[in-house]
Structure formats: structure tokens, C-alpha cells
Structure 1
Amino acid sequence: MRVLGIDPGTAIVGYGVIDFEKGKYNVVDYGCIYTDKDLPMEQRLCEIYEQLTELIKKYSPEHMAVEELFYFKNNKTVISVGQARGVILLCGQQNGVKIQGYTPLQVKIGITGYGKAEKKQVQLMVQKFLGMKEIPKPDDAADALAIAFTHINSLNSSFGESLNLKLSTKNLPKEKLTAKEYRELLLGK
């Protein structure tokens, strides 16, 4: 199964492509689609559509997982990101890809098991679960990989078995962990 994860935006659209076969994850590609802030919105949306179409044609994903919008303090931002998300959904639909949306909370729970995880904790889990040497950069691409990973595991009933993780939470020192403490927990140090 091949999944394309998308972190929508107008200036930056993160993407991540993951294959999942026989219980193993393989990162195929990740990165970002960038648009120039000085261009009119309709031109930026067109660029997102065209570049995403190229990615879909290049990688032929079966599924596309797209982050749902969450409340922004700036209404103008939520509207523009909503427009970009609409273009992304249209692109996926027109290219015959199965589409599923996930809230930021669902993604955090899906990859860390904790809905209030910090961004750094999500990135560390992406790195660990996908067997990457480094945390993927930029953040938007790491988020897109987390979204694709969450989708794969929402479809895979043997989630725990495929990860082979044995995390103990009985000796957690506090409610909120630093990224270093979280890494130590994961690595069993």
C-alpha cells in the first residue's frame, strides 16, 4: 500500500510518501510544495494543484491522508488554508486517490499515543517509526509523514504488532515530558 500524506498550507504544503508492505514502512519521498507569498491567491492555489498532480502521477499513491483544519486565531489564515485544502482534495479526487482526513489531535495520538504531544515529540516518533537517520526537515514534511503513518495504522489492525514497541509509562516523572525525556523513554534509557 502506498500513502501520500499532506500537511496543507498556502505558502508551504508538506508531503510524504510511505509504502507499507508486510509490516514494514518505507519512506519513498518527502518534501514541500512552496508558493510565493507575493502571487495572487488564485495563482498560488493553481501552483499547489499542478505540483500535487505531478506528485500523484509520479508516485501513484492508493491513498491520500490530509490534515483537517483546526482553529486559527487569524480568520484570514484559516480561510486561505481552507482554500488550499479544498484544492488538495479536488486534486486527489480528480486523480482517483482514496482520501481521508485526520485532525491534528488524531495524528498526535496516532503517532505518539498522546494527544498533547509537542511537535518535537511527533518528529522523533516519525524518525523512529520510519527508521530514518535524522528527523525529516522541514517541519511540514515531517508532519505530512506523520499524517501518512497515522493513516496506514488506521487501516492496519495489527498496529501494535507491526511496531513491536514495548513502552512503559509507570515511572513517568511528570505529566509533560521534554523531547529528551521522551526520546529516553522510547529508547529505554
Structure 2
Amino acid sequence: MIVLGVDPGLTRCGVGVIEAGASRRLSFIHVDVVRSDPDLSQDLRLLAIYNGLSDKIDRFSPDVISIERVFAQSNRNTVLGTAQAAGLAMLAAAQRGIPVALHTPTEAKMAVTGNGQAEKIQVERMVARILKLDRLPQPADAADALAQAICHALRPAGALQGGEREEHLTPAQRQWARAAARQGNHGGVHRGM
């Protein structure tokens, strides 16, 4: 199974591709960052990200695309750009009939390091170790994209899209949904909520 992971962003959108073989043996295929020029208008930036993601998808023909689930961030412009880039990845996948999975950053960190609160450097080191890389994937967006792909390869159940009904949520997603419901979603943007 070929898994393409996406760490969505409007300036830098990380893309990582791995192969999940028998006995959950994971192999590195590709890592890169799709970029857009911050000096361009929003529509042209989105087009650049979409075209870059489409090129990667067409080049690697993944069986599934795992995208970081967008959640609350303090910077509204950052979360909007991130959500737009995630939407573009979903659109590109849907146009090609490729299933989409969404995993939170906490789920990806947990799958890669065993600690949902791991620091970026810990994630980078474990991604390199799991995929037997000679050096840390750079930039950090690239490591996060590989972590997304690894997360889905190791924890695929419940993440594939098909509605946000309870049976489609992972335990971490259920916990997040309950916490968001208790807080009443006070105007924050939450991934998938």
C-alpha cells in the first residue's frame, strides 16, 4: 500500500510518500514541500499548492492520502490557509477516486513516537529511524507529512472519511469531539468538528 501524507500549509505544504508492506514494514519513497509565493494573491497561491499536490499524487499514485486534520490555532490566517490547503488535498484525492484519511497531529505523534505531546525534533528523529533514513527529513513540514503517512499505515482503522459519525472516529478523535462539545466550540476552528 502506498500512502501519501500531507502536512497542509499555504506557504509550505509537506508531502511524504511511503510504502506499507507486509508485517507493517514501512519503506521511504519520497519527501518534498510544495510551496507558494506569499507575494502572490490568495487565489494564485492556492492554485500553486493544488497543482503541486496534483503532480505528486499523479506521480506516486497512492492507495490512500492521509492529511493532517485542521484544528484550533491562535493565528486565524494560519488556520484558514491550512484548512484551505487541506481542502485542496481532499479535492485532488476525490477527483482521482483515492480515499482520504484524517489524523490529528497528536495521533501522528503518538503513532511515531508513542507520545502524543512529542517535540518536533523527537518526531523527526523517529520518522528517520522508522524509515531508516540517513538524515532527518527537512524541513519540518516534510517530517510531519511523513509522520502522517506513517500514522495511517500503522493506525488506519477509523480514519477514512465517510462522515464524522462516532463509528468513524478513532479514540483520540472521540476524546477531542467530547472535549469540543463540553467547551461549546467557543468560536474556535476545530478539525472535522
Q: TM-score range by the shorter chain?
A: 0.7 to 0.9
* 1:49 has 2:50 as partner: yes
Superposed structure 1 runs of 4+ greater than 4 Å apart: none
Q: Which moved more, 1:5-14 or 1:62-71?
A: 62-71
1:109 CA drift (Å): 0.8
Q: How many angstroms apart in 1 are the aligned matches of 2:79 and 2:89? A: 15
Q: How many angstroms apart in 1 are the aligned matches of 2:21 and 2:127? A: 17
Which residue number in structure 2 is paired with residue 31 of structure 1? 32
Which residue number in structure 1 is paired with residue 17 of structure 2? 17
Length-normalised TM-score, structure 2: 0.78
Q: How many angstroms apart in 2 are the aligned matches of 1:118 and 1:77? A: 20
Which residue number in structure 2 is paired with residue 6 of structure 1? 6
Correspondences of 1:18-97 after superposition (within 5 Å): 18-23=18-23, 24-97=25-98
> Which protein shows a greater Rg?
1
1:20 CA drift (Å): 1.4
Q: How many angstroms apart in 2 are the aligned matches of 1:34 and 1:146? A: 19
Q: How many angstroms apart in 2 are the aligned matches of 1:115 and 1:54? A: 31
Q: How many angstroms apart in 2 are the aligned matches of 1:95 and 1:85? A: 16
1:85 CA drift (Å): 1.3
Residues 88-120 of structure 1, C-alpha deviations (whole Å, 9 max, x = no match): 111111111110001111111111111111111
Matched to 2:95, the amino acid is Q
1:51 CA drift (Å): 1.4
Residues 2-43 of structure 1, C-alpha deviations (whole Å, 9 max, x = no match): 000000000000000001112321111101001000011111
Q: How many angstroms apart in 2 are the aligned matches of 1:53 and 1:118? A: 30
Q: How many angstroms apart in 1 are the aligned matches of 2:49 and 2:83? A: 13
Matched to 2:11, the amino acid is A
1:155 CA drift (Å): 3.1
Matched to 1:117, the amino acid is A
Q: How many residues align?
A: 156
CA contact (8 A) 1:3 1:19 kept: yes
Q: How many angstroms apart in 2 are the aligned matches of 1:31 and 1:51? A: 10
Secondary structure of the 2:106 match is helix
* 1:122 has 2:114 as partner: no
Which residue number in structure 1 is paired with residue 111 of structure 2? 110
Residues 137-186 of structure 1, C-alpha deviations (whole Å, 9 max, x = no match): 11101110011000000138xxxxxxxxxxxxxxxxxxxxxxxxxxxxxx
Length-normalised TM-score, structure 1: 0.80
Matched to 2:7, the amino acid is D
Which residue number in structure 2 is paired with residue 101 of structure 1? 102
Secondary structure of the 2:155 match is helix
